Protein backbone atom coordinates (compact mmCIF):
# COMPACT_ATOMS: atom_id res chain seq x y z
CA UNK A 1 0.00 0.00 0.00
CA UNK A 2 2.74 2.44 0.99
CA UNK A 3 4.78 1.66 -2.14
CA UNK A 4 1.73 2.19 -4.34
CA UNK A 5 1.03 5.59 -2.79
CA UNK A 6 4.68 6.63 -3.21
CA UNK A 7 4.55 5.66 -6.90
CA UNK A 8 1.34 7.66 -7.38
CA UNK A 9 2.90 10.71 -5.71
CA UNK A 10 5.97 10.45 -7.94
CA UNK A 11 3.81 10.21 -11.07
CA UNK A 12 1.78 13.23 -9.98
CA UNK A 13 4.95 15.22 -9.35
CA UNK A 14 6.26 14.36 -12.81
CA UNK A 15 2.98 15.43 -14.41
CA UNK A 16 2.95 18.75 -12.56
CA UNK A 17 6.60 19.53 -13.12
CA UNK A 18 7.27 21.65 -16.19
CA UNK A 19 10.61 23.29 -15.57
CA UNK A 20 13.15 23.42 -18.38
CA UNK A 21 16.74 22.29 -18.15
CA UNK A 22 18.33 23.41 -21.44
CA UNK A 23 20.19 26.68 -21.80
CA UNK A 24 19.14 29.17 -24.43
CA UNK A 25 21.40 28.88 -27.51
CA UNK A 26 24.03 31.57 -27.85
CA UNK A 27 23.71 31.67 -31.64
CA UNK A 28 20.67 31.96 -33.87
CA UNK A 29 19.33 28.77 -35.34
CA UNK A 30 18.91 27.83 -38.99
CA UNK A 31 15.73 27.76 -41.08
CA UNK A 32 14.78 24.83 -43.32
CA UNK A 33 11.87 24.42 -45.70
CA UNK A 34 11.59 21.11 -47.60
CA UNK A 35 8.24 21.16 -49.38
CA UNK A 36 8.61 17.83 -51.18
CA UNK A 37 4.85 17.53 -51.72
CA UNK A 38 4.68 21.06 -53.16
CA UNK A 39 1.93 22.14 -50.77
CA UNK A 40 2.90 25.82 -50.45
CA UNK A 41 2.47 28.63 -52.94
CA UNK A 42 5.22 31.25 -53.15
CA UNK A 43 3.10 33.63 -51.08
CA UNK A 44 2.36 31.00 -48.44
CA UNK A 45 6.02 30.03 -48.19
CA UNK A 46 7.00 33.67 -47.72
CA UNK A 47 4.47 34.10 -44.90
CA UNK A 48 5.54 30.86 -43.25
CA UNK A 49 9.21 31.83 -43.46
CA UNK A 50 8.48 35.14 -41.71
CA UNK A 51 6.80 33.31 -38.83
CA UNK A 52 9.55 30.70 -38.58
CA UNK A 53 12.27 33.37 -38.39
CA UNK A 54 10.84 34.58 -35.07
CA UNK A 55 11.79 31.22 -33.57
CA UNK A 56 15.45 31.31 -34.61
CA UNK A 57 16.65 33.13 -31.50
CA UNK A 58 15.69 29.98 -29.56
CA UNK A 59 16.97 27.38 -32.02
CA UNK A 60 16.45 26.05 -35.53
CA UNK A 61 13.08 25.78 -37.29
CA UNK A 62 12.10 23.36 -40.04
CA UNK A 63 9.05 22.76 -42.19
CA UNK A 64 8.89 19.46 -44.07
CA UNK A 65 6.18 17.98 -46.26
CA UNK A 66 6.23 14.45 -47.59
CA UNK A 67 3.73 12.74 -49.84
CA UNK A 68 5.46 9.86 -51.61
CA UNK A 69 7.16 6.94 -49.85
CA UNK A 70 9.93 6.98 -52.47
CA UNK A 71 11.17 10.24 -50.97
CA UNK A 72 10.47 9.56 -47.31
CA UNK A 73 12.47 6.41 -46.64
CA UNK A 74 9.80 4.78 -44.49
CA UNK A 75 6.75 2.58 -45.06
CA UNK A 76 3.70 4.64 -45.91
CA UNK A 77 0.29 4.05 -44.33
CA UNK A 78 1.85 3.17 -40.99
CA UNK A 79 0.17 4.63 -37.89
CA UNK A 80 3.51 5.58 -36.29
CA UNK A 81 5.39 6.51 -39.47
CA UNK A 82 4.91 10.28 -39.18
CA UNK A 83 6.53 10.45 -35.75
CA UNK A 84 9.47 8.29 -36.79
CA UNK A 85 10.06 10.26 -39.94
CA UNK A 86 9.82 13.60 -38.09
CA UNK A 87 12.50 12.38 -35.67
CA UNK A 88 14.65 11.12 -38.55
CA UNK A 89 14.43 14.44 -40.43
CA UNK A 90 15.09 16.42 -37.25
CA UNK A 91 18.30 14.49 -36.63
CA UNK A 92 19.29 14.91 -40.27
CA UNK A 93 18.63 18.66 -40.49
CA UNK A 94 19.16 19.99 -36.97
CA UNK A 95 20.95 17.33 -35.00
CA UNK A 96 21.35 17.44 -31.18
CA UNK A 97 20.59 21.16 -30.96
CA UNK A 98 17.60 23.19 -29.88
CA UNK A 99 14.97 23.25 -32.58
CA UNK A 100 11.52 22.35 -33.84
CA UNK A 101 10.29 20.54 -36.95
CA UNK A 102 6.74 20.73 -38.32
CA UNK A 103 5.81 17.87 -40.64
CA UNK A 104 2.87 17.45 -43.00
CA UNK A 105 2.66 13.78 -43.95
CA UNK A 106 0.35 13.42 -46.95
CA UNK A 107 0.76 9.63 -47.09
CA UNK A 108 -0.63 9.11 -43.60
CA UNK A 109 -2.70 12.33 -43.48
CA UNK A 110 -1.03 13.55 -40.31
CA UNK A 111 0.62 16.73 -39.08
CA UNK A 112 3.37 16.23 -36.52
CA UNK A 113 5.64 18.42 -34.37
CA UNK A 114 9.01 17.14 -33.19
CA UNK A 115 11.20 19.25 -30.91
CA UNK A 116 14.23 19.13 -28.63
CA UNK A 117 16.40 21.32 -26.42
CA UNK A 118 15.53 24.81 -25.24
CA UNK A 119 12.49 24.99 -27.51
CA UNK A 120 11.46 21.52 -26.38
CA UNK A 121 11.35 22.75 -22.77
CA UNK A 122 8.56 25.13 -23.77
CA UNK A 123 6.86 23.00 -26.41
CA UNK A 124 6.30 19.83 -24.41
CA UNK A 125 4.74 16.69 -25.82
CA UNK A 126 1.31 17.77 -24.58
CA UNK A 127 1.79 21.28 -26.02
CA UNK A 128 2.75 19.81 -29.38
CA UNK A 129 -0.41 17.75 -29.39
CA UNK A 130 -2.49 20.76 -28.40
CA UNK A 131 -1.05 22.83 -31.25
CA UNK A 132 -1.75 20.12 -33.80
CA UNK A 133 -5.25 19.73 -32.33
CA UNK A 134 -5.79 23.45 -32.89
CA UNK A 135 -4.62 23.63 -36.51
CA UNK A 136 -5.34 20.25 -38.13
CA UNK A 137 -8.65 21.50 -39.57
CA UNK A 138 -6.73 23.79 -41.92
CA UNK A 139 -4.97 20.74 -43.33
CA UNK A 140 -8.31 18.97 -43.65
CA UNK A 141 -9.49 21.94 -45.76
CA UNK A 142 -6.28 21.74 -47.82
CA UNK A 143 -5.04 25.07 -46.44
CA UNK A 144 -1.60 23.67 -45.73
CA UNK A 145 0.23 27.00 -45.67
CA UNK A 146 -2.23 28.42 -43.16
CA UNK A 147 -1.97 25.24 -41.09
CA UNK A 148 1.83 25.50 -40.79
CA UNK A 149 1.83 29.28 -40.25
CA UNK A 150 -0.80 29.06 -37.48
CA UNK A 151 1.20 26.29 -35.83
CA UNK A 152 4.37 28.41 -35.73
CA UNK A 153 2.35 31.37 -34.44
CA UNK A 154 1.26 29.28 -31.45
CA UNK A 155 4.80 27.96 -30.97
CA UNK A 156 6.09 31.54 -30.81
CA UNK A 157 3.32 32.40 -28.35
CA UNK A 158 4.57 29.67 -26.00
CA UNK A 159 8.20 30.76 -26.40
CA UNK A 160 7.20 34.29 -25.37
CA UNK A 161 5.44 33.09 -22.23
CA UNK A 162 1.92 33.15 -23.64
CA UNK A 163 -0.84 30.54 -23.51
CA UNK A 164 -2.66 28.59 -26.21
CA UNK A 165 -6.00 26.79 -26.29
CA UNK A 166 -5.72 23.27 -24.84
CA UNK A 167 -9.26 21.94 -24.62
CA UNK A 168 -8.28 18.32 -25.34
CA UNK A 169 -5.57 18.45 -22.68
CA UNK A 170 -8.07 19.58 -20.03
CA UNK A 171 -10.41 16.73 -20.97
CA UNK A 172 -7.51 14.24 -20.76
CA UNK A 173 -6.37 15.61 -17.39
CA UNK A 174 -9.89 15.31 -15.99
CA UNK A 175 -10.08 11.70 -17.19
CA UNK A 176 -6.69 10.88 -15.61
CA UNK A 177 -7.76 12.55 -12.34
CA UNK A 178 -10.87 10.34 -12.21
CA UNK A 179 -8.79 7.21 -12.84
CA UNK A 180 -6.29 8.15 -10.10
CA UNK A 181 -9.13 8.82 -7.65
CA UNK A 182 -10.68 5.42 -8.41
CA UNK A 183 -7.29 3.72 -7.99
CA UNK A 184 -6.66 5.40 -4.63
CA UNK A 185 -10.13 4.40 -3.41
CA UNK A 186 -9.55 0.82 -4.53
CA UNK A 187 -6.20 0.64 -2.71
CA UNK A 188 -7.72 2.16 0.42
CA UNK A 189 -10.56 -0.37 0.45
CA UNK A 190 -8.12 -3.19 -0.13
CA UNK A 191 -5.98 -2.03 2.80
CA UNK A 192 -9.01 -1.86 5.11
CA UNK A 193 -10.25 -5.30 4.13
CA UNK A 194 -6.85 -7.00 4.11
CA UNK A 195 -6.43 -9.89 6.52
CA UNK A 196 -3.63 -9.87 9.04
CA UNK A 197 -0.44 -11.27 7.57
CA UNK A 198 1.13 -14.28 9.29
CA UNK A 199 4.84 -14.06 10.05
CA UNK A 200 7.27 -16.91 9.54
CA UNK A 201 7.73 -17.26 13.32
CA UNK A 202 3.98 -17.59 13.87
CA UNK A 203 3.77 -20.27 11.19
CA UNK A 204 6.62 -22.18 12.81
CA UNK A 205 5.03 -21.98 16.29
CA UNK A 206 1.69 -23.13 14.97
CA UNK A 207 3.17 -26.12 13.20
CA UNK A 208 5.54 -27.60 15.77
CA UNK A 209 5.82 -31.36 15.63
CA UNK A 210 4.20 -31.50 12.17
CA UNK A 211 5.55 -33.49 9.27
CA UNK A 212 7.48 -31.48 6.70
CA UNK A 213 8.40 -32.81 3.28
CA UNK A 214 9.14 -31.45 -0.19
CA UNK A 215 7.13 -32.37 -3.26
CA UNK A 216 7.44 -30.84 -6.75
CA UNK A 217 8.95 -27.55 -5.58
CA UNK A 218 6.52 -27.06 -2.65
CA UNK A 219 7.52 -27.09 1.02
CA UNK A 220 4.45 -28.52 2.79
CA UNK A 221 4.71 -27.85 6.52
CA UNK A 222 1.10 -28.53 7.56
CA UNK A 223 -2.23 -29.53 6.13
CA UNK A 224 -3.37 -25.89 6.01
CA UNK A 225 -0.24 -23.83 5.24
CA UNK A 226 1.67 -24.19 1.99
CA UNK A 227 4.76 -22.01 1.40
CA UNK A 228 5.79 -21.61 -2.21
CA UNK A 229 9.47 -21.08 -2.81
CA UNK A 230 10.88 -20.27 -6.21
CA UNK A 231 14.54 -20.27 -7.15
CA UNK A 232 13.97 -18.15 -10.27
CA UNK A 233 13.81 -14.37 -10.34
CA UNK A 234 11.91 -12.02 -12.61
CA UNK A 235 13.61 -10.41 -15.58
CA UNK A 236 14.55 -6.78 -15.63
CA UNK A 237 13.04 -4.42 -18.11
CA UNK A 238 14.19 -1.11 -19.44
CA UNK A 239 13.62 1.58 -21.96
CA UNK A 240 15.74 1.77 -25.04
CA UNK A 241 15.86 4.40 -27.72
CA UNK A 242 16.90 3.84 -31.27
CA UNK A 243 18.12 5.89 -34.16
CA UNK A 244 19.56 8.82 -32.28
CA UNK A 245 21.81 10.07 -29.47
CA UNK A 246 19.39 12.49 -27.83
CA UNK A 247 15.82 12.34 -26.66
CA UNK A 248 13.39 14.73 -28.26
CA UNK A 249 9.62 14.48 -28.19
CA UNK A 250 6.59 15.36 -30.22
CA UNK A 251 2.92 14.97 -30.97
CA UNK A 252 0.59 14.97 -33.93
CA UNK A 253 -2.94 14.84 -35.25
CA UNK A 254 -4.55 13.12 -38.23
CA UNK A 255 -6.41 15.22 -40.76
Q: Give the domain extent around 71.
A: 19-163
Same domain for 123 and 64: yes
Maximum C-alpha span of the chain: 93
pLDDT reading at 4 higher than 90: no
- Give the helix/strand (H/E) hosting 192: helix 167-193
129 and 23, same structural domain? yes
Q: Output the DSSP codes for 99-155.
A: EEEEEEETTTTEEEEEEEHHHHHHS-HHHHHHHHHHHHHHHHTT-HHHHHHHHHHHH
Residue 100 pLDDT = 98
pLDDT 10s digits, 66-97: 986 444 454 555 668 899 999 999 999 999 99
Q: What percent of the chain has pLDDT over 70?
A: 58
134 and 220 co-located in one domain: no
Please compute the mean of the pLDDT values over residues 195-223 and round it to a whole number. Answer: 54
Of 21-25, 54-58, 211-215, 228-232, which range is least confident? 228-232
**CATH number, residue 46:** 3.10.310.50
Of 141, 161, 138, 162, the residue nearest 149 (C-alpha): 138
Closest CA to 62 of 122, 102, 104, 5: 102
Residue 240 lies in a domain: no
24 with 131, same domain?
A: yes
In a domain, 97, yes or no: yes
25 assigned to some structural domain = yes
Instruction: Kindly state whether residues 44 and 146 are assigned to the same domain.
Output: yes
Tell me if 61 sits within 8 A of 29, measured CB to CB.
yes
- pLDDT category of residue 114 using cuts at 50, 70 and 90: very high
Among 7-11, 69-73, 139-143, name the one with the lowest average pLDDT. 69-73
Which residues are bridge partners to 16 per DSSP? none
226: pLDDT strictly greater than 50: no
Q: How far apart are CA 160 and CA 158, in angstroms?
A: 5
Please indicate, yes or no, if residue 8 is contained in any of the structural domains.
no
Cα(98)–Cα(56) distance, rounded to whole angstroms?
A: 10
Nearest 10 degrees: Cα torsion 81, 250, 246, 18: -160
| Closest-CA residue to 109 (of 148, 73, 142) | 142
Among the candidates 137, 163, 189, a domain finishes at 163
Average pLDDT estimate for 24-36? 96
As for how many domains the chain has, the answer is 2
Amino acid sequence: MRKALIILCMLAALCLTACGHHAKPEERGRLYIEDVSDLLSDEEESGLRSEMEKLLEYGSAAFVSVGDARYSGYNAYDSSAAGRYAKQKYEELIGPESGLLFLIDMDNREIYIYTYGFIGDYVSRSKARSITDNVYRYATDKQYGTCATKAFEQINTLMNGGKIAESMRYISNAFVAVLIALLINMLALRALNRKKEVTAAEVADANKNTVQFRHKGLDIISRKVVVLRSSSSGGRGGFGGGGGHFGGHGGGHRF
